[in-house]
Amino acid sequence: MASVSDCYKQSLLPSFLYSSIPNSFSLDRLLNANNPSFGAWHTSKLDAPAPSLSPSIKTRTFMIASPNEPGKKIEMYSPQFYAACTVGGILSCGLTHMAVTPLDLVKCNMQIDPAKYKGISSGFGVLLKEQGLRGFFRGWVPTLLGYSAQGACKFGFYEFFKKYYSDLAGPEYFAKYKTLIYLAGSASAEVIADVALCPFEAVKVRVQTQPGFARGLSDGLPKFVKSEGVLGLYKGIVPLWGRQIPYTMMKFASFETIVEMIYKYGIPTPKDQCSKSLQLGVSFAGGYVAGVFCAIVSHPADNLVSFLNNAKGATVGDAVKKLGLWGLFTRGLPLRIVMIGTLTGAQWGIYDAFKVFVGLPTTGGVAPAAANAATVLAKA
């Protein structure tokens, strides 16, 4: 009965949070101290193999270790590591994009109806007059869900592909071509991430730019599918890739380079000797500068995505004809630079803060191939 009871105790633990039980207090130790004979019998029973109660109960887990367990550390590039990066990506992208919904709303309307929404301040004024304060957060649900799914894939798969391509190249070639590896890893991750984002983005743009179309995702998604079919949710996938892949390549490659330069030239102390607060400050600063570059590179495709998702049956040619090449590159750009700079800085700050919370180092400053080589040498 002791072994069965032990299994039930294990099954009732919050295993979705922690991978093991803190052992600061031992019931067996207390029993042994008070009654040695009972303690010996109890220990022998616990040492016996317990019957399997359910095939769903596993002896190994891929869950993230509790930060309250100082002896438990997440091994770099383990399944737990990638799980932590995925959760960090959900938090960083979902929360930040939802927070800047008012800016995104004005930006989308400036792209779709420039005659009505002539500037940033006037755009906010028009929205406030016509829709009130509630109108500033129209479309926040598809924004939160869509960018949470995108963030999970973007950050999780980036860490995976960065390590994978680094291992293929080896330490010597990684040192020579690390920027190309950052670019390849981020592009590979974003291809997958945009497949998750695209349906939510289509509904979001329609809800935000067509007042009266729907209140949000719950009624907007069925209306969109009824009007344009399921495949209509993905009609903007190519422009979305055109916007997001250059954006993400710039976001990760420039961030890694900027952070490396800050630690190399701006901070005399090695990264592993810097405080966590300083490392997180470097992450935010590097992310903000990277975000400015991202906004400039990806803005033409952002205009295309907004135009195509707003107008039924519209084509890229229609967008170029109506907006013009200059408008394609510049319309709504100042607002997007502010939005994306702040957004990207906050994303890197939240992502690395979560990594620090679960006991992982912040991103950047240490090459994966070099770190892996150092680990191998240390074990030799």
Q: What is the mean pLDDT of residues 65-89?
A: 80
Q: Domain for residue 101, yes or no?
A: yes
Ramachandran region of residue 315, left (φ > 0), alpha (ψ -120 to 50) or beta? beta
Q: Domain for residue 62, yes or no?
A: no
Of 117 and 362, more confident:
362
- Does residue 14 surpass a pLDDT of 90? no
Range among 28-37, 44-53, 60-69, 317-326 rated most confident: 317-326
Q: Domain for residue 7, yes or no?
A: no
Of 318 and 56, more confident:
318
Q: What is the pLDDT of residue 60?
A: 42
Q: What is the pLDDT of residue 42?
A: 45
Q: What is the mean pLDDT of residues 57-69?
A: 44
Q: Are residues 310 and 186 in the same domain?
A: no
Q: What is the pLDDT of residue 368?
A: 54
Q: Domain for residue 357, yes or no?
A: yes
Q: What is the pLDDT of residue 41?
A: 45
Q: Are residues 184 and 92 in the same domain?
A: yes
Burial pattern 67-87, b for ≥16 Cβ within 10 A else e, equals: eebeebebebbeebbbbbbbb
For residue 11, name the pLDDT band (cuts at 50, 70, 90): very low
Specify the amino acid at residue 268: P
- Does residue 73 surpass a pLDDT of 90? no
270 — phi, psi (to 5°)? -60, 150
Q: Please write the tens of the pLDDT for every residue from 299-309.
A: 888 888 778 77
Q: What is the pLDDT of residue 72?
A: 62
Q: Which of 12-16, 122-126, 209-213, 358-362 has the lowest mean pLDDT?
A: 12-16
- Cα–Cα dist 97/142, whole Å: 10
Q: Are residues 106 and 188 in the same domain?
A: yes
Task: Among 234, 264, 293, give the residue marking a domain's end.
Answer: 234
Q: What is the mean pLDDT of residues 123-133?
A: 88
Q: Are residues 83 and 146 in the same domain?
A: yes
Q: Are residues 207 and 291 in the same domain?
A: no
Q: Are residues 187 and 272 in the same domain?
A: no
Which CATH number characterizes residue 153's domain? 1.50.40.10
Ramachandran region of residue 313, left (φ > 0), alpha (ψ -120 to 50) or beta? left
Q: Are residues 198 and 268 in the same domain?
A: no
- Does residue 94 surpass a pLDDT of 90? yes
- Cα–Cα dist 34/42, whole Å: 13
Q: What is the pLDDT of residue 358?
A: 95
Q: Domain for residue 380, yes or no?
A: no
The number of domains in the chain is 2
Q: Are residues 264 and 302 in the same domain?
A: yes
Percent of the chain having pLDDT more than 90? 46
Token pair of 130 as six digits: 């016509």
Of 95 and 132, more confident:
95
Q: Domain for residue 64, yes or no?
A: no
Q: What is the pLDDT of residue 17?
A: 38
Range among 7-11, 124-128, 293-297, 346-350 rated most confident: 346-350
Q: Are residues 258 and 109 in the same domain?
A: no
Residue recorded with tokens 């191998």: 376
Q: Are residues 79 and 223 in the same domain?
A: yes
CB 50 within 8 A of CB 6: yes
Token pair of 378 as six digits: 């240390």
Average model confidence (pLDDT) for the chain? 80
Q: Are residues 311 and 178 in the same domain?
A: no
| DSSP3 helix / strand / coil % (the chain, rounded to 5) | 75, 0, 25
**Angle, vertex CA 95, rays to CA 92 and CA 101, nearest 5:** 130
| pTM to 2 decimal places | 0.71
Q: What is the pLDDT of residue 184?
A: 97
Q: Are residues 214 and 310 in the same domain?
A: no
- Structural domain span for residue 197: 74-234
Q: What is the pLDDT of residue 366?
A: 62
Q: What is the mean pLDDT of residues 247-261?
A: 94
Q: Please write the tens of the pLDDT for every residue from 183-211.
A: 999 999 999 999 999 999 999 989 988 88
Q: What is the pLDDT of residue 15?
A: 43
Q: What is the pLDDT of residue 50?
A: 46
